[in-house]
Structure 1
Amino acid sequence: MPVKPQVLFFDVNETLLDLTAMKRNIADVLDGNENLLSLWFTTMLQYSLVTSASGQYRPFGHIGAATLQMVAANNQITLSEEKARETVVSALRKLPAHPEVKRSLKRLKDANFTLAAFTNGSQEGVTQQFEYAGLTPYFDAILSVEGAKKFKPFQEAYQYASQQMNVSLNESMMIAAHGWDVAGAQWAGWRAAFIKRPGQQLYPLAPTPEIVATDLEQVTDRLLQY
């Protein structure tokens, strides 16, 4: 039987929070073209990596707004910086939790797991997200990469989170719905659990996480057996 992780680190967007409403808001400023949403998200991730790789740091929401402008411009849509930032920030901060999330977090808390959120978003942003979604009471810590000034999946980000929680890398487990996040966590020395939300896949060239499930409830069932 696997050893129980000392700290469970949870990605936030899509892992815990349902992005359906956000996608509608983003589509509205892209002339209703929902086909551009995945392009925008991957472009946002690409430029967060470019920013970190270049030794720079900008808030994730600002990168999201800048890349939203880029995608809009490539599709002959005029979008000001102010409107882009307003759209991204407002869309991200009013998201509900997935249906199974709260009861799963409660089961983990009742089993004495230590729970920490760990997001590429800003500290202010994730705090507001959790207040809106009603998730704050379940967590022992809410962490942002702001302190590390490196976005996930850079190793420095995961190292920073473990240091903040005073645990070793191999006592840390990433729970995320993104293949790049669980890959980065494992390559940094963490353990990982992958939630296969719709449209999400594991990266075939990365190690297979010790837990692969369709929702947080299944992940919780497995963890409670540890």
Structure 2
Amino acid sequence: MARTFCFDMYGTLCDTSSVTATLGEELDVSDSLADEIDATWRRRQLEYSFQVSLMEAYRPFWKVTGAALDYALARYSLSPDGSTRDRILGAYDRLDPHEGAAETLERLSDAGHTVTVLSNGNPEMLERLAENAGLAPHLDDLISADEVSVFKPAPVVYENAAERTGTDIGDCTLVSGNAWDVAGAGAAGMETAWINRARDPPEEVGADPTDEFCSLVDVAAAFD
């Protein structure tokens, strides 16, 4: 039976940690410090998305990502000039795809499924990244939380994806490497496929994953 697959972009199809090379080059810091800055940046990016949603103070994900970068730089007492900051921030447009990303999308599409991205990223971010990562030709749609002015895991984000694709929410499968995203989508009524690369336990809040996989290609094998 054909389903609608909604893939998370950041951390699922594309590797957010691939910005560390840019951080190291632009800031002239060690690999270990670049890793620490990246981890702080990503953590704050997620925390700020939760905070602005709860505060009902929505701003596009690009601005959230910039604010998180500024925090990370300040945390490590780094003050790059504006051009350097822009180049670092631009690394989010050129994230490396995870292994098997394009293959998985193509196999599911060839099997007759609808294949989309459902992401907190604003449309411009998603369009640039999907094109640069070579994923755009394999996607039926790019669906952004920006359309409802709140971020995942708010239920309306997942409900909007089902409405956009003309699919009953129970016939949608969110594919995500983020456990909190899986918990939120399941609570909203979606089926879920968790890419548990780190072998973590599931979240204690929200819904359990419907299915759990080690890699993207395992999803393709299960559903094509």
Is the pair's TM-score, using the shorter chain for normalization, greater than 0.5? yes
Deviation digits for residues 120-149 of structure 1 (CA, Å, limit 9, x no counterpart):
111111111111121112111111111111
> What runs of 5+ residues in structure 2 fail to find an aligned partner?
none
Matched positions, count: 220
Q: Which moved more, 1:98-107 or 1:40-49?
A: 98-107
Alignment match, 1:105: 105
Q: Are positions 1:218 and 2:218 aligned together?
A: yes
Deviation digits for residues 169-220 of structure 1 (CA, Å, limit 9, x no counterpart):
2111100000011011011111100012348653234432121111111112
User: What's the offset of the Cα at 1:20?
Assistant: 4.1
Deviation digits for residues 83-141 of structure 1 (CA, Å, limit 9, x no counterpart):
545422x1111123223122222211111001111111111111111111211121111
Q: Secondary structure at the match of 1:43?
A: helix
**Root-mean-square deviation (CA), in Å?**
2.2
Amino acid at match of 1:93: D
> What runs of 5+ residues in structure 1 fail to find an aligned partner?
none
Q: Secondary structure at the match of 1:87?
A: helix
User: What's the offset of the Cα at 1:5?
Assistant: 5.9
Alignment match, 2:20: 23
Q: Secondary structure at the match of 2:97?
A: coil
Alignment match, 1:7: 4
Q: Are positions 1:43 and 2:44 aligned together?
A: yes
Deviation digits for residues 31-64 of structure 1 (CA, Å, limit 9, x no counterpart):
4412232222111111111111121221212111
Amino acid at match of 2:169: L
Alignment match, 2:53: 52
Please give the residue correspondences for 1:1-226 in structure 2 after superposition, counting only pairs within 5 Å.
Answer: 4=1, 6-27=3-24, 28-29=26-27, 31-32=29-30, 33=33, 34-79=35-80, 83-88=84-89, 90-198=90-198, 202-224=202-224
Q: 1:157 to 1:126 in 2, by over 3 A?
A: same
User: What's the offset of the Cα at 1:79?
Assistant: 4.5
